[in-house]
A and B are shown apart, each in its own frame.
Chain A
């Protein structure tokens, strides 16, 4: 994995084309991601060309992952292979635009896979704007190891998404969550990490003690979470690469939970409960020095930093019921931002900084919603017996959350929904899952 990452850092953007086509940037092949209804853009991804012997299966698999990534957004619609009039057997040959126009493929993605004699894999791709008969952007090449093929496929899909929408993608990312098995009253929980699409699952802890709410560091190298392994809820920090962990806060007679990193990764904001009262604290992760940010007899918890690190959104029942508040990252006066019906909890600041995602509880139903940072324009994206714990995709376009079903056989699983409220769907996990945390795009 390490060598793969290293070589990926050296991924080359190759100018395969003769000259960049300036007008392609303003051409018709463009999705404006808005809140309006979008007709998914039809695209074709013929199987990538295997340029060296033995790469055929990999070339097909990479094309399938690229197609699944784009399809999964709900913004694109894949045209199945059996509708193709022609296919691509040579990456360098001119594209027969009329063949792709005839099946209404607005975007065409071609690719090629090769392996050199040192075991380095190379994946090239091009994006074509079929209806204007031009290439969109330049050809690009990623290099890596054979084992890292899924990551390269996600990087290709991120590049395609970015060219067509003008926004960064979210496919080359990971999700850390709580894997759940067993009945409600004897549920076993352990930390798991996987690619955003459910592939490459790994367990980070065993299920000998309850673990809750893992949260990625800004660079994705560490995870904060709450564990009962000492017998009491305690915040731990875990190194993803080595799976080594240490307790962050272990003051006898207290509990600590609900941790999140600051945007620079150097501090942790979390809750400590002492004498039945829960407040928010900030800790320097290296020195362990601690500062109290709230001091009220009410419950203050679920803090989340703004992307610039200057403010913190959190929940409090100081008004008598759970509501959302924003304060300075140094503590002090807080401004209430939620004023609708019902209760609001688990606020998470969006990566773009403009929205706060939250869980809303009203009339016996749970919702995932978003509102602007000033509390205006509240929008509920879901409704069910129990939805909670939103986490943002790296580009702020998708929200993943926990959905728990009702009754004695109820179980938890991960779902995702667009910030527009469209494209609600389950996230593939092995067994049950809860408390997802979406990583930034990988480097």
Chain B
């Protein structure tokens, strides 16, 4: 699932950069006129659900780290592209940790992860006022087994899109 999401996110990312650099490829360029066929399955490309499903709303982290991976950066590039186009939306970045750690430390670690995502998006031109962060530490796992297969999904920062700046 995550590799499909990544593919979609990369495609969307390329599509967005193609849009902003339209002249380079011309009207009938690589992505210009022909959107990927499966793009429509995610609905309105300006919707938060599209962001969540097609762009990819989360990045994962190694154990006890808040360093972005290459895969994470690619997703965040796509997030930044989407946020640039859909400039009415704001986001809360939620940082999370797996259960292997004490409560307070994991809160602080989740905050580091959320902040790493925020800093990256800022570096890609997203305005700071649009990006807030919160840490849930180990309080809100999405996968509940006590094994690395679950832990790796829980060590995450999720960009949650919400109502526009003006709304």
Contact = CB atoms under 8 A, between A and B. Distances in A.
A129 B67 CA distance: 66
Interface residues of A, number: 41
Contact of B105 (A183, A253, A301, A410): A301
Interface in B7-64: none
Contact of B135 (A231, A255, A275): A255
B101 A361 contact: yes
B141 A346 contact: no
Interface in B108-142: 108-109, 111-112, 114-116, 118-119, 132-136, 139-142
Contacts of B145: 407-408
Contacts of A185: 140-144
B83 interface: no
Interface string A340-363: 000001100000000000010100
Contacts of A275: 115
A287 B143 CA distance: 43
A17 B69 CA distance: 77
Counting chain A CB atoms within 10 Å of each CB, the highest count among B105, B111, B115, B146 belongs to: B105
Interface residues of B, number: 31
A156 to B, nearest CB: 37
A359 B103 CA distance: 11
A359 B99 contact: no
B90 interface: no
A406 B98 CA distance: 13
B78 interface: no
Contact of B146 (A255, A322, A407): A407
A345 B137 CA distance: 15
B62 to A, nearest CB: 15
A404 interface: yes
B75 interface: no
Given A276-B115, A276-B116, A385-B146, A315 B134 contact: no
B56 to A, nearest CB: 20
Nearest to B135: A255
Contacts of B109: 299
A213 B103 contact: yes
Interface of B: 66, 99-105, 107-109, 111-112, 114-116, 118-119, 132-136, 139-146
Question: Would you list the 7 A-B pairs with minimal beta carbon distance, nearest first?
Answer: A276-B115, A278-B108, A345-B102, A299-B108, A184-B144, A273-B111, A406-B146
Given A233-B134, A233-B135, A278-B107, 7 more contacts: A187-B139, A231-B134, A257-B107, A276-B119, A299-B105, A345-B105, A386-B99
7 contacts: A257-B104, A271-B104, A278-B108, A388-B103, A389-B103, A410-B144, A410-B146
